[in-house]
Structure 1
Amino acid sequence: MDAFTRFTNQTQGRDRLFRATQYTCMLLSYLLEPKAGKENVVMKLKKLESSVSTGRKWFRLGNVVHALQATQQSIHAPALVPRVCLTLANVNRVIYFVCDTVLWVRSVGLAAHINKEKWRTWAARHYCCALLLSLARDLYEISLEMERAARDRAQREQPPSRGPPGCSVADEETEWLQAFLLLLFRALKGHPPLLLDTVKNLCDILNPLDQLGIYRSNPGIIGLGGLVSSLAGMVLVAYPRLKLRTQ
């Protein structure tokens, strides 16, 4: 109970909880909509999803400042690739949160003349760019971890023997794929923060890709991805040591 209280006392913790509720409602409404006699339940789920989505905008009003601070910190990252990717990603997050604030102003009626669709497209575009840059950083970190795993494996094992003369190209490609997947598994298994960050970014990017028309998904896929991402975010809030950091 104390851990739950500490979690909900944090703004990010409450936002992740609300976000998980929002995407759970989206997923459930998608699953129940084709079923007969579930119209009232689906309508209530969609209303709850809309209410939670509106409420979450309050938690994001101060995120512009946090994104600016993250940008300043990422500039000093020691490695070049993470420094460039994180800095550009955080700049895009700053613009995204600015667009999100403008949309909130429009939703509460303070500026009804704002073009909602235009600002929503801008927000989705910059959010997508931020996630793509974050995934590029994840891929860079994964490649480093795979290199370490390969060196460790080479040190433990003797040099591999050459295959028989009759070994086909297809067999060699299969062995290469198996070795690659094994290295990837070992790299992610030995680095839980990297695994969490990669899964979270992959799940998050489904929504902006759908909004921009780049890769269409149904509400069920988006809801499932958002729920998985929210659960990963809740883990990161509850256990900050699992947050991916640049060495």
Structure 2
Amino acid sequence: MASKSSMSSDILGNLVKFNSQTAGREKLLRLVQYGTRMLWALMEKYSHEKEVVFRLKNLEYTFSTARKLFRFGRSLDVFYSALSTINIPDQILRITITFSRINLALYLLADHVLWLGQAGIANVSKDKWSKLSNRFWLYSLVMNLVRDMYEILTLLQIQGSQTCAVSVSSVFPYARSSWSVLLQALLNWMIYHRSVTVELIKNGCDFWIPLTNLKIVKFSPATVGILGVLSSLAGILQLINVSYKLSPS
């Protein structure tokens, strides 16, 4: 009973800590924003409730604007944080993390300009700054995905680890006998290396959103909503439990 009580206390404590963070509330807004997009897109396709769809679209816009306000000024923090990553010993991590943060800072800076335009404080070209913002976001995500691939390859090169639940050398023999067994082995590996898995899901889902915004690919609003919900859940999980976050992050 004591252990259950302690576990409940830990969960509640993590949730309270998460909710007290600006980043946590922004992630919740992001989850609701993309969830709303998914909802109105599905209703627009399968329902005739035009008034409800219209209200949901307005609601999504409200959440999007609120997120921009929550992030206002954060570009400076991200720029500054890039200074600490130039001393990372590993060259690949140093390059990918540093350039990811620089591009993320530029993305946020462009996002700040967009918010100033939406608030009527400045006269800006929404199309121009939106494209610029999405490009910088895309560049940041490319760096993140390169880092994720590097982390995975590094893990796959580790041989004879006594702590690994499923070693890489034990995965390949299963391929000769059964694809289902191989899939189970890979699933076990992903669960064991949960920080890489969650990071890859987050970046992999986000990757298609700026591509769609830039019209490089043509994903439906419903698909974009689903991808946004998944990446938001992954981000929330990382904020609640740091063991799901790669280090250095």
**Shorter-chain TM-score: what band?**
0.7 to 0.9
The alignment partner of 1:205 has SS state of helix
Gaps of at least 5 residues in structure 1 are 161-173
**Mapped partners of 2:228, 2:241: distance in 1:** 20
Aligned residue number for residue 205 of structure 2:
203
Aligned residue number for residue 102 of structure 2:
91
Aligned residue number for residue 196 of structure 2:
194
The alignment partner of 1:244 has SS state of coil
Larger radius of gyration: 1
Judged with a 3 Å threshold, the aligned counterparts in structure 2 of structure 1 residues 144 and 38 are, in CA distance, closer, same or farther, namely: same
What do the CA deviations read for 1:68-111 (whole angstroms, capped 9, x no partner)? Answer: 23312221222111111111111111111111111111111111
Match of 1:132 among 130, 142, 150: 142
Match of 1:221 among 220, 223, 230: 223
Match of 2:121 among 88, 105, 110: 110
2:148 is matched by which residue type in structure 1? D
Match of 1:212 among 211, 214, 218: 214
**Mapped partners of 2:152, 2:106: distance in 1:** 28
Q: Is the 8 A contact 2:205 2:230 kept in 1?
A: yes
Judged with a 3 Å threshold, the aligned counterparts in structure 2 of structure 1 residues 187 and 155 are, in CA distance, closer, same or farther, namely: closer
Q: CA RMSD in A?
A: 2.7
Q: Is the 8 A contact 2:27 2:236 kept in 1?
A: yes
Q: Which moved more, 1:23-32 or 1:143-152?
A: 143-152
Judged with a 3 Å threshold, the aligned counterparts in structure 2 of structure 1 residues 186 and 70 are, in CA distance, closer, same or farther, namely: farther
Judged with a 3 Å threshold, the aligned counterparts in structure 2 of structure 1 residues 176 and 132 are, in CA distance, closer, same or farther, namely: farther
2:24 is matched by which residue type in structure 1? G
1:13 is matched by which residue type in structure 2? G
What do the CA deviations read for 1:178-236 (whole angstroms, capped 9, x no partner)? Answer: 69867754542321111111100011111100122222211111100000111111111
The alignment partner of 2:158 has SS state of helix
Judged with a 3 Å threshold, the aligned counterparts in structure 2 of structure 1 residues 154 and 75 are, in CA distance, closer, same or farther, namely: closer
- What's the TM-score once normalised by structure 2's chain length? 0.83
Aligned residue number for residue 16 of structure 1:
27
Match of 1:121 among 125, 131, 140: 131
Q: Is the 8 A contact 2:108 2:133 kept in 1?
A: yes
How many percent identity over aligned positions?
Answer: 30
**Mapped partners of 2:28, 2:34: distance in 1:** 10
1:223 is matched by which residue type in structure 2? G
Q: Is the 8 A contact 1:124 1:208 kept in 2?
A: yes
Q: Is the 8 A contact 1:203 1:229 kept in 2?
A: yes
1:192 is matched by which residue type in structure 2? R
Q: Is the 8 A contact 2:28 2:236 kept in 1?
A: yes
Deviation at 1:117, TM superposition (A): 0.8
The number of residues matched between the two structures is 231
Gaps of at least 5 residues in structure 2 are 1-11
Deviation at 1:34, TM superposition (A): 2.3
Aligned residue number for residue 165 of structure 1:
none
Judged with a 3 Å threshold, the aligned counterparts in structure 2 of structure 1 residues 2 and 87 are, in CA distance, closer, same or farther, namely: closer
**Mapped partners of 1:108, 1:73: distance in 2:** 34
Match of 2:15 among 4, 18, 21: 4
Match of 1:146 among 150, 153, 156: 156
Judged with a 3 Å threshold, the aligned counterparts in structure 2 of structure 1 residues 155 and 104 are, in CA distance, closer, same or farther, namely: closer
Deviation at 1:242, TM superposition (A): 2.1
Judged with a 3 Å threshold, the aligned counterparts in structure 2 of structure 1 residues 77 and 187 are, in CA distance, closer, same or farther, namely: farther
The alignment partner of 2:217 has SS state of coil
Deviation at 1:122, TM superposition (A): 0.7
Please say if 1:46 is aligned against 2:57. yes
The alignment partner of 1:76 has SS state of coil
